[in-house]
Amino acid sequence: MAYHEAAAGDGTTREEQFLKGQKLVLCICSLMLILFLVALDQTIVSTTFTEVGKDFGSFDKISWLVSGYMLASASVVTVYGKLSIVFGRKYSLLLAIFLFELGSLLCAVSQNMTMLIVARVIAGIGGGGIQSLTTVVASEVVHMNKRPAIMSLFGIVFAISSVLGPLVGGVFTTEVTWRWCYYINLPVGGFATALLLYAFNPPRPKFTWSKIREIDYIGISSFMAGIVLILLAMSLGGINYPWNSAAVICCFVLGGLSLIVFSIWNFKFSSNPLIPYFVIKVPGVFVCTLVYFFTFCNFMTLVIYGTLYFQTILNRSAFQSGIDTLALIIPLMVATLISTGLVQGSKQVKPVIIIGTILGPIGGGLMTLLDVDSPLSKRIGLFIISGVSLGIQMQTVLISAQLAAPKQASGLILTTVVVNFSRSIGGAIGANLANTIYSVTFSKKIRPYTENSIIRIPDSVLLNSPEAILSLPENLQELVTEKLMESLRATFYFGLGCASVAFIISLFVSNDKLPKKEKKPEVTETPDQSQDDNKSPSLDKSLEFINVHSKN
């Protein structure tokens, strides 16, 4: 069957979104630069914890710098997708960039921990939109048969920036001030926005004020409330409050009820549902969302706690730990490019995905072999398989979902948004659960020593401050380090479980193939588009260079 792709659903056609030549290159570069900043922002704060805690005298709230950002980011991904259909991708993306930059500025000038956490939430609201819409825009400006090359670049950018976060954060914190972790977003983000304004000028969507009424406010409110409350409970449980405390139970109950209300409203009563049933009822799309969810649970666990292994167990600086994590990032980059070449050459997506998911549990199992005294060769070797696995899956899963996307108007956009939501929520839940596992395991193992006053430093400080560990006598340093290693190993087992589930689910991915030629889209809502379709513009030589070399 010939491949067809739906129009945007906002009154514009697929062909009107295509770019070529210089504007295509500049548009893709601006999108990658913006995505780089957002992905960097997820992990850059991990090396600022000690200094921020000292400056504001509040170590007990330090984890909210990550949780607040991810809570906000994950809860708005699908909302931006719907807004982009009403107001257009360009203006929705510019709104997200503005909020991200505003949040970054407020973070940089924060005077206390509360202000910093609120600013991180604002940045997260913008960051969630950027993660969602950069992929949507990149998917629209080129045809499907050119898309794997673009998506591979985005996957590499996301992975590199996620791993570079601790390195860059460490350099700024050590050499200047932690505030530059946020100031850096302003000039770079401004430059990327200027490029976007010049290069990306799609036709305006057919907007009328009646479209404002099409926004599902009840669905958005109940969905965001449910997601935030569930993630909040997972962030608080076992760390700030016991799992059986009233605060945690209330968050779980209210969050669950909110999601039940959302589901009933969204699928039964809403005339403009936030997550249309015609999207998630497609098996190929639904399966890909699940694979992405568990893959990014594993990804965030490896990035955050792999870096923490080098800093906490091996006492490496933030810069040195960033260099160490190249054992993960270089295989990831190479695997992403090779998998792109395989997909481009064979037009087959599912076999490539399964190769990646098979390697996931193998890599996860190897990570559990890391120890306090693991030699350099062992550390490098154990990270490689996980890097290859993640690199293969990074964008091929999204391509598979887009191939299976429903052909109704806006089908591609909503499919991309839903899959990106599963990535964001998977990363957020993965990071939260891994943090809970790490913190609870360490507290349980170290409690006998703190309760008997053998160690007089609170376990929360030992978790976040390598300097505190170094202040202990040598025999106690070894004891604490061993308990931290056991706690880290527990998070790696969690990542192994996520990778195993992703492999099982990937067996049911759609067998749809990449199209060889561009075809006329069939959109039931716009029958006047049955005219002969002109051949879409050829891509710039730079993109062809990427395609050719990704095959080699």
- What is the residue extent of each domain of the chain? 15-203+272-513+535-551, 216-271
What is the DSSP-derived secondary structure letter of residue 9?
S
* Residue 169 confidence class, pLDDT cut points 50, 70, 90: confident
Q: Which two tokens stand for residue 458?
A: 């609170």
Asked if the model's pLDDT at residue 494 lies above 70, the reply is yes
Angle at 223 between CA 119 and CA 437, to 5 degrees: 65
The DSSP call for residue 268 is I
3-state secondary structure 146-205: HHHHHHHHHHHHHHHHHHHHHHHHHHHHHHCCCCHHHHCHHHHHHHHHHHHHHHCCCCCC
Beta-carbon neighbour count of residue 208 at 10 Å?
Answer: 11
Per-residue pLDDT reduced to its tens digit, 418-440: 888 888 888 888 888 888 888 88
Q: CA 445, CA 482: separation in Å to the nearest integer?
A: 10
**pLDDT of 504 higher than 90:** yes
Task: Locate 271 and state its tokens.
Answer: 């005339």
The band of 98, judged by pLDDT with boundaries at 50, 70 and 90, is: very high
Which residues neighbour 185 within 8 Å (Cβ) at sequence distance 6 or greater? 37, 41, 100, 101, 104
C-alpha span between 71 and 55 (Å, rounded): 24
Q: Is the dihedral of CA 343, 346, 350, 351 positive or negative?
A: negative
241 bridge partner residues: 237
List the beta bridge partners of residue 237: 241
CA-nearest of 490, 498, 513, 494 to 389 is 498
pLDDT in tens, 468-478: 777 788 888 88
Phi, psi of 370 (to 5 degrees): -60, 145
Residue 143 CA to residue 520 CA, distance in Å, equals: 11
Q: Which amino acid is at 207?
A: F
Q: Could you report the per-residue pLDDT of 288-331, keeping only the tens digit for each?
A: 999 999 999 998 888 888 878 887 888 877 677 777 888 888 89
* 19 SS3 class: coil
Residues of the chain by 3-state class (helix, strand, coil), percent to 5: 75, 0, 20
Phi, psi of 241 (to 5 degrees): -135, 150
What CATH topology corresponds to 15-203+272-513+535-551?
Growth Hormone; Chain: A; (1.20.1250)
For residue 71, give every residue at least 6 positions away whose Cβ sits within 8 Å of its Cβ, in sequence order, or none.
121, 124, 227, 228, 231, 232, 235, 428
Residue pair 80/5 in contact by the 8 Å Cβ criterion: no
Could you give the percent of the chain with pLDDT greater than 90? 25
For residue 227, the model assigns a pLDDT of 85
Instruction: Give pLDDT, residue 523.
Output: 44
Distances (CA, A) of 169 to 44, 174, 303, 429, 488: 5, 8, 14, 23, 21
- Mean predicted lDDT score pLDDT of the chain: 82
Query: Looking at the predicted structure, is the pLDDT value of residue 9 above 90?
Result: no
Please give the residue that has the higher pLDDT: either 496 or 544: 496
- Tokens standing for 476? 């106690």
